[in-house]
Structure 1
Amino acid sequence: MTGAHQRQRRLDNLRRRIAGPQDAYERCRMYPCTNRTTADSGSGLNRLYCRKHIEFYRRHGSYVKTSYGAGELRPYRAQALAWLDLNEREMAVQAAIDGVRRLYRTAGAAVAANRLAGRPPAERAKATWAQLRQREVDPLEVLAAWLAVDLRMRDDPQPDRHEEYRWVQVAKLIHRMAGGTHKRWETERADGRVQVTELHKHPVSRGRVLRVLGEELAATCNGLIMAS
């Protein structure tokens, strides 16, 4: 069977599943939301949640809890970085630093943010590590981001303790640290005036790429624990 036939078969199967969902709740399970689930409305396969809460989950890593803000995490990052500076020679810290450097080294060439749309999550995650490497972000800063989220969750009276939420929170920090693509060029017009054009593009901070980034850093930071 050719690749085109396989793709068409998968599409036909997907359409049938969307058109005839099994055991779908009529309303979203998030109280007091009254929206229809995507399976019930025929717009997707999720049998528990509506489109609004699915998108919320994609962005935050939780159906109920929003992300920690940059200002909220800033003091924890400073605390974590100070601890890392004092304990840089410890075996666990050195292993984590080597792990971040490995992620930098194996990320490949940096890719402009405006060229990432439509690429697989793993490829976009590599582009983020490559951007951090290109910007010469100290691995200790990356480790501080991981520890900052951990410290904030410990202080949170109502934390979401799912690993996915943790991954997404640290990945959002890493995305901000990587920055985006910023270009500026000048074009001379027919009347002799110079027209300035600027491009500012940041990668979209939601979806599967956040899970990939967070999981990769989690594997690198395995064993790195900071006393609060």
Structure 2
Amino acid sequence: MLQPSGKRAKRRAALKESIRLGPLAASAKCAIPGCGRQTMKAAREGLAPFHCRRHVEHRQRHGSYWRPSFKASELRPFITAATAYVGLRAANDKFIAAAIADMGRVLEDAGPVEIATRLKGMSATKRAKIGLARLRVEGVPPQRIVSIVLAVAALIKADAKAPRAKEFRTVQICKAVHRLASGTHRVWVMEDHQGRKRQIEMHAFPKSTGRVLREMGRMLEEPCDWVIEKHVAGVLAHRQRYGRPRAAS
């Protein structure tokens, strides 16, 4: 049996690769400008047809292929404005009052708390509820959570470079709220054979990536849908009127 020539073998290999990639054969390189890496599908590392592993993992952590999460310094002035805005209207505005009440019920219905080292193997929904329960145990007021949700939505609207995809907002809401009560912290005092006391600390944090961020963010975002729609512009106006201008970088 005759063996195919070198050129024929290369064409055959290229045809097989084209068939493997399917209609997305042209997307052999990551779609993010300047990246240049192979897509996960082209590199046979996964099924992502347009992005490399690095940017797929970036999206899992931040909700965007390219935009990192907001820094606390970026979010702080918007939280200040939203907290003041919500505090002024919590008793009289029906949308804000309903969001606070619904958020309280979400925290109460979250169930028991579990320590961070025992979360492995649980579903994303279960782990998200444990995150909400941790907020309840730490005594985080529902009104504060509503203010943070509103602040994240306002920052995205004000930032011309922020992604407008709902996924990004959902993940950023989860990250901002989760900072209020993240992980499990334990302190023990032990005594050695000489009677000397030592303090031992344990700080365990759940992995901040994947479906858990989306599930917890969705649970925090849904009670505030009407507040986001009706009051983001008001928060921005409040910040512009009463907030201090940010220092030029």
Give the secondary structure class of the aligned counterpart of 1:129.
Answer: helix
Matches within 5 A, 1:161-200: 161-200=164-203
Q: What residue number does 1:74 align with?
A: 76
Task: Give the direction of change, closer, same or farther, for the CA distance of 1:178–1:21 in structure 2 (3 Å limit).
Answer: farther
How many matched pairs? 209
Question: Which residue of structure 1 lines up, in the alignment, with residue 44 of structure 2?
Answer: 42
What percentage of aligned pairs have identical amino acids?
35
Q: Does 1:207 align with 2:210?
A: yes
* 8 Å CA contact retained: 1:175, 1:205: no
TM-superposed deviation, 1:197: 2.1
Distance in structure 2 (CA, Å) of the matches to 1:174 and 1:118: 24
TM-score (norm 1): 0.86
Counterpart check, 1:106 vs 2:94? no
CA positional deviation for 1:218:
2.1
Q: CA 1:193/1:21 → structure 2, altered by over 3 Å: closer, same or farther?
A: farther
Does the alignment pair 1:218 with 2:221? Answer: yes
Structure with bigger gyration radius? 2
Partner residue, 2:247: none
Report Cα offsets for 1:69-105 as digits up to 9, x if no partner. Answer: 1111111111111111111122111110111111111
Once the two structures are TM-superposed, the CA of residue 192 in structure 1 deviates from its matched residue by: 4.0
Aligned to 1:199, what secondary structure does the other structure show? strand
CA–CA separation in structure 1 for the residues paired with 2:187 and 2:43: 45
1:195: Cα distance to partner?
Answer: 4.0
What's the offset of the Cα at 1:209?
1.1
**TM-score normalised over the length of structure 2:** 0.79
C-alpha contact (below 8 Å) 2:40/2:46 kept by paired residues: yes
Deviations 1:95-138 (A, max 9, x none): 10111111111111011122223321111110111000001101
- Measured against aligned partners, the alpha-carbon deviations of 1:163-182 in whole angstroms (never above 9, x if no partner) come to 10110111101110122211
1:4-36 per-residue CA deviation (whole Å, 9 max, x = no partner) reads xxxxxxxxxxxxxxxx55445322111211222
CA distance in 1, matches of 2:197, 2:44: 52
RMSD across aligned positions (CA): 1.6
In 2: Cα distance, 1:219 partner to 1:102 partner:
12
The question of whether the paired residues in 2 share the 8 Å contact of 1:187 and 1:195 is answered with yes
> Which of 96, 119, 123 in structure 2 is aligned with 1:120?
123
